[in-house]
Chain A
Amino acid sequence: GAVVSQHPSRVICKSGTSVKIECRSLDFQATTMFWYRQFPKQSLMLMATSNEGSKATYEQGVEKDKFLINHASLTLSTLTVTSAHPEDSSFYICSASSTGGGLNEKLFFGSGTQLSVL
């Protein structure tokens, strides 16, 4: 099956620093990638949808200047948490859908990144 690689799996940083999370589709081209955050014992919350070569579409309440998303190629999307603060500590997950779309397209997810801001 298709593989989505997400790095790093865990990061601890000091308040005020920026953190970049990478999401790569290893064996397929991902025209669309989704970024989610998840708090303990809660469901995934969609943060933004990114399409290759265009600006990301952010969900209501998600600060686009704080969570910078870049989808420069069909296999790579990055999420940068700028000037991170303790309240940004969360589990971040990316997912990708393959090119062509289709009625029965599946999503493939990365393994997630646990961000802890001290």
Chain B
Amino acid sequence: LAKTTQPISMDSYEGQEVNITCSHNNIATNDYITWYQQFPSQGPRFIIQGYKTKVTNEVASLFIPADRKSSTLSLPRVSLSDTAVYYCLVGMYSSASKIIFGSGTRLSIRP
């Protein structure tokens, strides 16, 4: 999988919009971008996935520029319960792929 780079940590306040950017300069043509959320002592949970432009679901939005060398996870109006670690993964999953996690971004939301 393409190597990813994310900020180690971010802080924000309840009600704010939070944007977490992930750099993936070596992304391949067939690679998708997937974000996962992990709470302490739990397994990661799928948030959103995209290939290009913009994807939105009930939880977040994912913005991907034309060159696809980066992506931004946008969390609207965060709450305390959004405090978690967010991982950006880039790749094409198949039975031959290894799923390697980067360091992730530790997001802390304050009242």
Q: Which residues of A contact B (CB under 8 A)?
A: 1, 4, 6, 31-32, 34, 36, 43-46, 49, 51, 59, 91, 93-95, 97, 101-112, 114
Q: Is the interface of B mostly helix, strand, loop or mixed?
A: loop
- What 0/1 readout, one digit per residue, does chain B (30-44) give for beta carbons within 8 Å of chain A? 101010100001111
- Besides A103-B30, A104-B49, 16 other CB < 8 A contacts? A32-B95, A43-B101, A46-B101, A49-B98, A91-B41, A93-B43, A94-B43, A101-B93, A104-B32, A105-B93, A106-B34, A106-B46, A106-B49, A109-B36, A109-B43, A112-B43
Shortest C-beta distance, A92 to chain B (Å), equals 10
Shortest C-beta distance, B87 to chain A (Å), equals 7
Complex CA distance for A112 and B103, rounded to whole angstroms = 18
A107 lies within 8 A of B46 (CB): yes
B51 lies within 8 A of A104 (CB): yes
Q: Which residue of A lies closest to B89 (CB)?
A: A107
Cβ of B45 < 8 Å from any Cβ of A? yes
Cβ of B92 < 8 Å from any Cβ of A? yes
11 residue pairs bridging A and B, Cβ less than 8 Å apart: A4-B43, A44-B101, A46-B99, A49-B98, A59-B98, A95-B43, A95-B44, A95-B99, A97-B95, A106-B49, A112-B43
Given A101-B93, A106-B46, does the pair A114, B41 have CB atoms closer than 8 Å?
yes
B42 lies within 8 A of A111 (CB): yes
Cβ of B80 < 8 Å from any Cβ of A? no
Complex CA distance for A108 and B44, rounded to whole angstroms = 8
